[in-house]
Amino acid sequence: MAAMTSIAQARRRASELRREIEEHNYRYYVLDAPIISDAEFDRLMVELGELERAHPELLAPDSPTQRVGAAPLDRFERVEHRIPMLSLENAFTREELFDLERRIRDRIGDRPISYVGELKIDGLAVSLWYERGVFVRGATRGDGFVGEDVTQNLRTIRQVPLRLGPEAPDVIEVRGEAYMSRRAFAEINQRRMEEGEPLFANPRNAAAGAVRQLDPTITAERRLKFFPYAVGVIAGRTLRTHWETLDLLKRLRFAVNPHSERLPDLEAAWAFSHTWETRRKALDYDTDGIVIKVDDLDVQRELGEVSRRPRWAIAYKFPAEEATTRVREIAITVGRYGALNPVAMLEPVHVGGVTVRKATLHNEDIIAKKDVREGDWVVVRRAGEVIPEIVKSIPERRTGEERPFVVPASCPVCGGKVVKPPGEVISRCVNAACRAQLEQRVKHFVSKGAMDIRGLGEQWALRLLDEGLIKDVADLYHLTKGRLLKLERVKDKTATNLPAAIDASRSRPFPRVLYALGIQHVGEKTAEKLAETFRTMDALMAASEEELAQVRDVGPVVAGIVRAFFEEPKNRKLVERLRAAGLRMAYEAKAGPLTGKTFVLTGSLTSLTRGQAQDAIRGAGGSVSDTVSRKVDVVVAGEKPGSKLEKAKNLGIALMDEAEFLALLASRA
């Protein structure tokens, strides 16, 4: 009789403790608002543990003591999903996101639709099965139809309630993402490093490994978390919207992600994605996009799925800045100046919002330093607009089949000699007639900032060279409709338009012609400066290295290169042929209110940068000089003018302050 009482009491106390512990657990792990100390919590756990040991018949799967310490398994059982676990269609662009609605409209017409936006958590999908409010089985997604029974591992996740709140439906299958926080990831990797164990590549891999551990004590150490995002099977309850589903999950004591939002349309979804593209960086867990779901569950059912993806949802992926892929081979391209540029040809991968197929490797020193081999797995990064680059190779993934890179002894294009001047990092093909260099020169010559020959892109440049219609850029000006029509598949329209476009390029101003020549280090700015200073091609070709070096922004190195370029008879000949073709070989200031006037700027202007002021002067037909001489017409003095102001005063040159200068520019209108 006494024993009976004691068992009944023990049972009551145990169930009281369980409720209390789970309540504190919920407050701590889900609400993030504990009301007792860790020591008090531990005391409750110890008391419950002792009770259960004294009365093993009281043990229940929903006891908090069952979260840790279950015995290791030999293997996982299979779990068939009653409703398949689908995956999502991905969108990488605004267009692709908006396609979602176009497809929906095709099926349901113009009925109103609204959406829910959620973060796409970067972990792994799991399913949690509850019967009469008790967690009975947890499974991985597997192939979507059959997963693995990882119940005892998922029990270790504190955000997985072992018993649901009083509103629990008879049966409910909750689906969501098991993930590892960034903090736990960092701490676990730190410890692994100290213990000399291999590191996890990212929180997702770490989480996936933890869920598939046969020994649940290891899973427990990995401190996984869980966000629910859907309900699979549900019995004894009807839900009308996804938003309502999330609300129910919250009341059932799940840690629903707090950043989900109801969105009236896809425009709002697009704005939501923009907000999170930045804000996600401050979160303590990785997200790789957002998920947009049709809110109305009837509409979801009506839309159904196609090839295992729902028609009612889409994942818009944030442009990842880094991704891993494989190097198929290391190819060599030959640059305009003969540089052998190693390029990693990659298995296509999405990075930074685009598909990347190749990445520059710069030179062999960098290849050696990063130890990139053909066949290697590598991390590629694309930050902002820059060309993708290889961050590092992943030697851990080598199979032994990888081939280290060797610089070819001869040019892969023309077979010419390859040299690497001492002190330089780049190997070059020294054959100036190398076909690759020629191609690059033609491409540059016709490009937008240079002669801007419309309709003559890379394809045409190559074709003209291949067909032998041109041997250098001057030959472009001798192309005729008749010759073009002799080529296969060339239409009358093209044969007419191309020579016309080439003809139109004859009127490009001298600085563009100079830039189009493609002298190394002579970019658009430098070409402009040189043209302005020397005024004519003849004067420029005659200029000494010293004279060249005096031009602002032209240092001794560039001066030497320009000089050497014009000393080369082949280059002089090319210039003459271009001159004969009618290209401009002298600087002509644009006509405008400042035509013929030379300006010097000194001091700083408050409303314009130096560059903007220069552009404005040139735009109105004037020219800009760096030094004050009698040839200068006006000196514009801003704040804190230098010695140029003194000199101008001495020479009696007209002076202007910023206000007068702005008024003058305004008068051009």
Contact positions toward ligand IVH, by CB under 6 A? Answer: 86-88, 118, 120-121, 125, 141, 177, 229-230, 291, 310, 313, 315
Q: Which is nearer to ligand IVH, 121 or 502 (CB)?
A: 121
- Can 120 be counted among the known catalytic residues? yes
Sign of dihedral through CA atoms 532, 535, 536, 542? negative
Sign of dihedral through CA atoms 183, 185, 186, 191? positive
Strands 354-360 and 146-148: unpaired
Q: Which is nearer to ligand IVH, 87 or 341 (CB)?
A: 87
Q: Which is nearer to ligand IVH, 121 or 303 (CB)?
A: 121
Distance between CA atoms of residues 632 and 598, nearest Å: 5
Whole-number minimum distance, CB 141 to ligand IVH, in Å? 6
Whole-number minimum distance, CB 356 to ligand IVH, in Å? 22
Distance between CA atoms of residues 308 and 231, nearest Å: 17
Whole-number minimum distance, CB 274 to ligand IVH, in Å? 18
Sheet containing 90-91: which strands, arranged edge to edge?
90-91, 313-317, 287-294, 115-121, 261-263
Residues 80/146, Cβ–Cβ less than 8 Å? yes
Q: Which is nearer to ligand IVH, 178 or 378 (CB)?
A: 178
The H or E element that residue 285 is part of is none
Whole-number minimum distance, CB 303 to ligand IVH, in Å? 11
Distance between CA atoms of residues 507 and 390, nearest Å: 43
Residues 645/635, Cβ–Cβ less than 8 Å? yes
The H or E element that residue 649 is part of is helix 643-651
Residues 618/592, Cβ–Cβ less than 8 Å? no
If you count them, how many residues does the chain have?
Answer: 669
Whole-number minimum distance, CB 147 to ligand IVH, in Å? 11
Distance between CA atoms of residues 319 and 90, nearest Å: 12
Residue type at position 359: A
The secondary structure of the chain in percent helix, strand, coil, rounded to multiples of 5, reads: 40, 20, 35
Q: Which is nearer to ligand IVH, 227 or 405 (CB)?
A: 227
Whole-number minimum distance, CB 143 to ligand IVH, in Å? 12
Q: Which is nearer to ligand IVH, 184 or 291 (CB)?
A: 291
Q: Which is nearer to ligand IVH, 118 or 376 (CB)?
A: 118
Angle at 335 between CA 329 and CA 339, to 5 degrees: 85
Whole-number minimum distance, CB 289 to ligand IVH, in Å? 8
Question: Could you tell me where the beta strands, DSSP code E, fall in 588-640?
Answer: 598-602, 623-625, 634-637
Residues 645/603, Cβ–Cβ less than 8 Å? yes
Distance between CA atoms of residues 352 and 323, nearest Å: 9
Whole-number minimum distance, CB 12 to ligand IVH, in Å? 40
The H or E element that residue 146 is part of is strand 146-148
Of 120, 370, 529, 644, which residue is the catalytic one?
120
Best CA proximity match to 228, nearest among 205, 241, 247: 247
Q: What are phi and psi of 271, to 5 degrees?
A: -65, -40
- Say if residue 62 is exposed, middle or buried (CB neighbours under 10 Å; 0-12, 13-18, 19+): middle
Residue type at position 478: H
Q: Which is nearer to ligand IVH, 120 or 644 (CB)?
A: 120
| Partners of 334 in the β-ladder | 340
Residues 587/535, Cβ–Cβ less than 8 Å? yes
Distance between CA atoms of residues 110 and 104, nearest Å: 9
Q: How far is CA 328 from the centre of its chain?
A: 21
Distance between CA atoms of residues 53 and 51, nearest Å: 5
Strands 403-404 and 309-310: unpaired
Whole-number minimum distance, CB 146 to ligand IVH, in Å? 15
Cβ neighbours, 10 Å, residue 183: 12
Cβ neighbours, 10 Å, residue 419: 12
Best CA proximity match to 663, nearest among 626, 634, 632, 641: 634
Angle at 559 between CA 555 and CA 562, to 5 degrees: 140
Residue nearest ligand IVH, CB atom distance: 125
| Partners of 175 in the β-ladder | 127, 230
Residue type at position 66: Q
Catalytic residues: 120
